[in-house]
Amino acid sequence: MAGDRNIFVVGLNDFNRQRLETLRGAEHWRFHGVIDPEAVYDTEVFDIAAMLEEATEQLEAFDGSVDAIVGYMDFPVSTMLPILCERFGTSTTSLSSLLKCEHKYWSRRVQKEVIPDFIPNFTAFDPFDDEALTRIGEAGLYFPFFVKPIKSSGSRLGFRIDTPEDFYHAIEKLREDIGLIADPFNVVLEHAELPPEVAAVDGGFCMAEEIIGGWQCTVEGYVFEGEVVSYGIFDSLRYPQVLSFFHYRYPSGLPEPIQAKMRELTDTVMTHIGYNNAAFNIEYFWDEVQDRIWLLEINTRISQSHCDLFEKVDGISNQQVAIDLGLGQRPDMPHRQGDYAIAAKFFYRVFFVDAVVTRVPSADEVAALEADFPGTMIDIQVVEGQRLSSLPEQDSYSYALALVWMGADSAEQLLEHYDRLSARLPFEFDQVEG
């Protein structure tokens, strides 16, 4: 039909295509995939140069207008978008403003310029430097502290360090695996103009940061023509005594003055960074005891984990924001027009060192559970015969076997429904290492 807009989605899969078709305005949009989803989802090996070349060839070969190029995933998709959008003249933020969020050392330096009281003490270090622990101490960081790569994906290769032994264990893992992200991230850095002090700290470096904590939450927002808009705040609730996430909950249960301060900090830092015409989310902690807010990190995308929760509570997925911005228009996002007062994404986990999966819920068992809890979606993450240690993108402490999205009338009802559902998920294991 005349007037249809062509929207290219990096890593588009069938699940997300169905959701995109329900957005406001979708009857005038044609969605096209760029780069197979397998190349960005189910792997830890990213050949960025090859993917950029492949995407460029696909887009150049398209017989029609390229009206938007979007994505809703973290690395490597988020970092490729500014490069592709610049090549094809579509709307998104600049590569340098994106890297001021994604390059953790550069991001902390920029944050320190405008909100120094809301970030932890930090320093960068080279994990291949045998004197790294001494240098971290010289920078004023003492046990306990946290280490993670300059560019990480999910919670991988993040470690709490309480002793020198912890540090050397972490260093061993970092030296082994950091190249999986460092090498492709360095390809992206080659496309950007970096200040000398940032250029010296490439993807092979790590961050050491003062431990921060408290009630964790995420502010979802976007910048449109210089205006910062925060349109949802989520709670990230962890399993007791461990770092692994239990569930994401929307809307947040934080006190309103704390939420208002987080929105103010978000406005300050995103404006200072020069981020524009793109979506983001920022993770914060509220330390209730000290009544202190900490900025944890900035992500340059909508959160896919939040899509269904926005749909359940507000009436439409936050993918609306990514698509509208990609088309250069103000996002058309409803508020509290969904079927539920509250919603959550739960992570059904086991806390093993390793094991082999011998039984997973069947399609019929999953369908029966979804029918018993209306509005629920269950996504099994493992298959029979799989060794848990082969799962990509896991944290350092547990394995997520299933993802469960649920809506409810209250936080109490939500947890009660999840407890009943999770008790009926039949997983079995062999060769368990506890």
- Position 229 in a domain: no
Q: Judge if 73 and 140 occupy the same domain.
A: no
Kindly report, residue by residue over 266-312, the tens digit of the pLDDT.
Answer: 999 999 999 999 999 999 999 999 999 999 999 999 998 899 999 99
CATH code of residue 149: 3.30.1490.20
Cis bond upstream, residue 127 (ω within 30): no
Q: Which of 158, 182, 210 is the last residue of a domain?
A: 210
Residue-averaged pLDDT of the chain: 95
User: For residues 186 and 14, what is the distance between their CA atoms, to the nearest angstrom?
Assistant: 31
Strands (E), 104-205: 122-125, 145-149, 159-161
Task: For residue 348, count other CB atoms closer than 10 A to its CB.
Answer: 21
Residue 135 lies in a domain: yes
Shared domain check, 164 and 80: no
Question: For 142-194, how does the pLDDT look when each residue is reduced to its tens digit (9 = 90+)?
Answer: 999 999 999 987 667 899 999 999 999 999 999 999 998 899 999 999 999 99
What is the predicted pLDDT for the residue at 45? 78
Does the residue 297 lie in any domain?
A: no
Task: Report the CATH number that the domain containing residue 416 is assigned in CATH.
Answer: 3.90.1170
Q: Are residues 53 and 135 in the same domain?
A: no
The residue to which tokens 């912890």 are assigned: 166
Residue 286 lies in a domain: no
Domain boundary among the residues 179, 210, 241 is at: 210
Query: What's the pLDDT tens digit per position in 51-68?
Result: 999 999 999 999 999 999
pLDDT at 154: 64
Residues 56 and 136 in one domain: no
In a domain, 266, yes or no: no
What is the distance between the alpha carbons of residues 137 and 143, in angstroms, rounded to a whole number?
9
- What pLDDT does 1 receive? 45
Domain extent at residue 178: 121-210
For 41-50, b/e burial (b = at least 16 CB within 10 A) is eeeeebebee
Of 85, 233, 200, residue with least CA distance to 97: 85
Q: Is residue 104 part of a domain?
A: no
pTM equals: 0.92
Q: Give residue-wise pLDDT tens across range 349-407.
A: 999 999 999 999 999 999 999 999 999 999 999 999 999 999 987 877 799 999 999 99
E strand or H helix at 163, and its extent? none
* Number of domains making up the chain: 3
Answer with the one of 169, 188, 210 that is the final residue of a domain.
210
